Amino acid sequence: MILRFILLVSLAIWFGGFTFYSTAVIYTAQEVLHSHLRAGLITQQVTRWLNLVSLPPLLLCLFHQYRLRFAWRGWFVKILGMALLIMILTQAGLFLMHPVIDAQVVDREVPDGVRFFQLHRLYEGIATLQWCATLVYFIAMLKIWSRIDSSHPASAR
């Protein structure tokens, strides 16, 4: 129960933070600052934090996956593992890409807008894939927990 609680809270902070950031913060920053570049200079810092915040939940997910290999077998564990693998690989890609995109901004200007836009689109695509994989992870995790709890009625009380 404690592992489930910590895992859920850490995923909620990371996944929820990313969801709120991508749906509200970016748009609001652009509206308030009237500039994609100025808003981007802020969101550049926020994405660094989002990348760092991903580490504890991903480590907890790995530990959870390791523990499940003893407790439960089946398709949902495989789906969970595949979703986690995608989450980890995409996070590695985001960590690698962030400094490359940062290097495109020189003295608070973007000298090569086409290159920056291409890299930024790729970054957004990787982040979206990660978001989708995390959603699949949540669904598989809840399904597994439901099956574990129903197969051990005394432990679910």
What does the alpha-carbon distance between residue 82 and residue 102 come to, in Å, rounded to a whole number?
A: 30
For range 61-70, the mean pLDDT: 88
Q: Is the pLDDT of residue 44 over 90?
A: no
Phi, psi of 98 (to 5 degrees): -55, -50
Average pLDDT score over the chain:
90
Q: CA nearest 137: which of 75, 63, 84, 99?
A: 84
| pTM of structure | 0.88
Tens digits of residue pLDDT in 113-140:
899 999 999 999 999 999 999 999 999 9
What does the alpha-carbon distance between residue 153 and residue 157 come to, in Å, rounded to a whole number?
A: 7
> Under the phi-then-psi rule, with left for phi > 0, alpha for psi from -120 to 50, and beta for the rest, what region is 108?
left
pLDDT-derived band at 153, boundaries 50, 70, 90: low
